[in-house]
A and B are shown apart, each in its own frame.
Chain A
Amino acid sequence: MAAVLDVTPENAWTALWRRLQQDRVGAVSLGIVVAYLVMILFAGAGFLAGGWSREVGVPYANPAFIGERLNLEGVLRKRAEHKGVAPDLSAVDPLAPKYAEWERRTGELKMSEPERSMTLPWGGDRWGRDVLDKAIKGSQVSIAVGVTAALCATLIGTLLGAFAGFYGRWVNDFLEWLYNVFTSIPPILLIFSLAAVLRSGVFAHLFASGIWMVVIILAATGWTGMYRLVRAEYMKHRSREYVLAAQAIGASSASRMFVHILPNVSHVILVQLSLLVVAFIKVEVILSFLGLGVPVDMVSWGTMLSEAQTELVIGKWWQLAAATAFMAVFLTAFSMLTDSLRDALDPKLR
């Protein structure tokens, strides 16, 4: 067919941007993902949902859109705040005067505990913490874990894959052996083993807070997919003529690997990275649910879901809904974005 030559100089990335813009679904997904990123940046800096762990509502506070319907626990707690005059039970209970004494004394202490509200925007959890704040903070934690772990796994997998694919022979043999070792162990077992030793082991105190334990577990389990992909790409490219030409003009091995081949493989890596982010977030949620993920002083979508299970039975559904909604919207948008990215980068569709 007649050739259509581009008039403006354009490299792969500007072409990508242009094609992405034309894809409506991709553009909307990008918008949603960016909105989330802004939200978690604010949350991370403390401007948003900073006080998520404060118990600002009554236990199981209803969401604002439901109003103050029956909330037994909440009502009880509220009543506990406003102490009316207690009936005189001294005839029955010898300690009653003492109770009255203690009540009077504690009432004198000025507690600056603010009054707890009966309803919160999206309801409260068992301790009266704001579910909306938790959802926002949880988004930050879960997404941060997913992205960090994906980046680590990508770094490991890309480096190892590049060396194995480019050099071949004994380097390849050794790395293939390593790959086989890691993939022979069922992933869940590897995760559990790592979780077991990192929690109770020598470095337990290092991982007592922060997300690094989960990140390490995820990266150590998830690098293998990226390795396989990058190795296959490097094997394909190393005998391509442009690499031979680079060798012919005297380019070094490092130059050939990272200056010549890597830019040609980067689009594949990018798509795989996005897939890893989604997969890792989902695994983190499950790990946190089981108590093997983020530490107890942090909130993630997984910890919210673990509370939600018991809440559902007594009819409190809003924490489940919040966590699910925030997670589903983000992952759907991110997955759609990845699909659009893959289509936009596909040379055959150019």
Chain B
Amino acid sequence: MSVLVRVANLRVSFVTRQTRVEAVRGVSFDVRHDATLALVGESGSGKTVSAMSILRLLPENAIVDPASRIDYGGENLLAAPGARLRALRGREISAVFQEPMSSLNPVLTVGEQVAEVLRLHRRMAPRQALERAAELLAEVGIPEPRARLRAYPHELSGGQQQRVMIAMAIANEPKLLIADEPTTALDVTVQRQVLELIARLRERHRMSVLFISHDLGLVGEIADDVVVMREGEVRESGPTQRIFNAPRDPYTRALLACRPRLDTRPRRLPVIDDFMRGAAAPGAPLERPPAGANLVEAKGLRKEFRLRTGWFSSKSLVAVREVSFGVTRGRTVGLVGESGSGKTTVALLVMRLLEASGGEARLEDTDLLRLSGAQMMAFRRRIQIVFQNPYASLNPRMSIGRTLTEPMRIHRLGADEGERIERARRLLQRVGLPQDAMHRYPHEFSGGQRQRIAIARALAVEPEVLICDEPVSALDVSVQATVLNLLLDLQEERGLAYLFISHDLAVVKYMSDEVLVMREGEVVERGAPEAIYRAPQHEYTRKLLAAIPRGLEGRKFGDGALTSSGTQP
């Protein structure tokens, strides 16, 4: 199959007042006709910048090296005049972005925005354009398309918003669709639907897709060719089958290996460094302590929010409904669910960061929910929490040393300041950070490092129970393994009881001894991870499992067409 777009030796730098950063360093790849090419990499790999260079949709401070070329239809797009690019955009080459809510204009109706791209390139009359827009909305699977024409973006769900974006993108039958992480911001089940939509459209309109993602599982299912990028360079590229079955580059191998797999549970997850050094080994399966008396026991937890809708009226929203579970020392209970399932709310309730509307949460024999503020202080030592967003959970204006010693000071641990600093240093060492971090500030560290600092802070008071609320969701895949390994090590060392919360079933399955599946505030299924995986009882659990991208195994046919049932091989 011939080449549609050829990117040759692309170099892009960004200039700020002080520095010049090279984001893309000599990247080359080909997008074939009527095929899907995936650009895979972690944050900072330059994949988005590379793809957006095709349409020159770059920030104002971007500088493209004149020696770079992007060939399309016999011309170099990088040298083309602005008017030519504008003629191409939205007509022959289109783009879909990651955040559908903010990518749509909030004050214009959906119909107006879809019709706009038709009127711009095809000079359609307004009424005609709206007609066609309705047809497009139907094609992307929006129910009641005619009525939806007059809707505003905020009235649609995330999945529907993304469908509207896709409708705008395919309106003029483009030859190439650039999709920049189109499903990352969506729930797993919705993700599956949107991917299927893109695949269907690709086939029907015979267009090529340039798909950007950080998720290898996804990529394995849908792409024909893969380009693996890291820090602005191409590490490896080739057909999907070859890349997945016989990866040559150590980074590629690391990416493939360090995600928790659904079928095995090794003692340690392999990390990037292992692969780069060539010292990777799958390792023995994990051994867990047996179940015992519950250290933490929650019964009938309930949280209801009252929203004021007027002067005297209000509406109630039940976020958590009758949730019960028990955690033993040294073991982990996993809570999995999509956004809005209430799993984070459960964590906040147990920590008394949010007041519960009902139920009880016992630590040994004391019901934490009935304690006064002063009484709760004593218990704050025993149960701690690690939050999801490592960029938000550390105070940007506090040095690491102060962040670590503050909890000790509050709970009067350590005889004096000197001893507290000593303890802080040892904590840093335990989580694998250098000693000089004490004087530095959070913005100087990467996401994974910050998360380790957050773990260190939680451990500063020597708790018995640790609640992990999506601790690795905001991290790159390669870094996730490091943090998960650290958590497991600490659990083994100190006999900590974990409540592990995530939307990622694979991660939850790996970390937990018992899994609870939550949906809209309720626990719909619970059981041992293996049992949940092999024989899901509830329909929602099955849907959740089916939606997980499996990589090569998820492909039914060699050409990347997806199925909707996703049964196991």
Contacts and interface: CB of A to CB of B under 8 A. Distances in A.
Contacts of A251: 406, 410
Nearest to A10: B441
B444 A6 contact: yes
Interface stretch (A155-163, A203-211, A236-244, A307-315): A236-244
A19 B17 CA distance: 9
B410 A3 contact: no
Contacts of B377: 250
A2 B411 contact: no
Contact of B407 (A12, A22, A250, A349): A250
A84 interface: no
Interface in B377-410: 377, 380-381, 384-385, 387-389, 392-399, 406-407, 410
A264 B396 contact: yes
A250 B380 CA distance: 6
A228 interface: no
B392 A9 contact: no
Interface in A70-113: none
B446 interface: yes
B21 A9 contact: no
B389 A3 contact: no
A249 interface: yes
B392 A240 contact: yes
A189 interface: no
B461 interface: yes
Contacts of B440: 9
Nearest to B461: A249
B18 interface: yes
Contacts of B351: 248
B387 A244 contact: yes
A3 B44 contact: yes
A18 to B, nearest CB: 9
B389 A249 contact: no
A2 B23 contact: yes
A241 B392 contact: yes
B533 interface: no
B16 interface: yes
Given A5-B444, A11-B399, A22-B17, A249 B392 contact: no
A260 interface: yes
A242 B402 CA distance: 13
B46 interface: yes
A2 B21 contact: yes
Contacts of B44: 1-3
B49 interface: yes
Interface string A299-328: 000000000000000000000000000000
Contacts of B392: 240-242
A45 interface: no
B380 A2 contact: no
B380 A248 contact: yes
A89 to B, nearest CB: 81
A246 interface: yes
Contacts of B443: 6
Residue of A2, A3, A246 with most partner-chain B CB within 10 A: A2
Interface string A1-32: 11111100111100000010010000000000
B84 interface: no
Contact of B441 (A9, A19, A250): A9
A177 to B, nearest CB: 15
Contacts of A181: none
Interface in B347-392: 348, 351, 353, 377, 380-381, 384-385, 387-389, 392
A248 to B, nearest CB: 5
A247 B355 CA distance: 13
A263 interface: yes
A233 B399 CA distance: 22
A202 interface: no
Contacts of B46: 1
B441 A1 contact: no
A188 interface: no
Contact of B389 (A11, A19, A241, A250): A241
B332 to A, nearest CB: 19
Nearest to A264: B397
B316 to A, nearest CB: 17
A245 interface: yes
A180 B568 CA distance: 62
24 contacts: A1-B23, A2-B21, A2-B22, A2-B231, A2-B232, A3-B44, A3-B446, A5-B446, A6-B444, A9-B436, A9-B439, A10-B444, A11-B441, A12-B396, A22-B17, A244-B348, A244-B353, A244-B393, A247-B353, A249-B380, A249-B406, A249-B407, A260-B395, A349-B17
Given A4-B21, A248-B385, A249-B461, 19 more contacts: A1-B49, A2-B22, A3-B446, A5-B444, A6-B444, A9-B444, A10-B444, A241-B387, A241-B392, A241-B393, A242-B392, A242-B393, A245-B454, A245-B457, A248-B353, A249-B457, A249-B460, A250-B380, A263-B398
Q: Which 8 A-B pairs have the closest CB atoms?
A: A249-B407, A263-B397, A241-B393, A1-B23, A241-B387, A250-B380, A241-B392, A242-B395
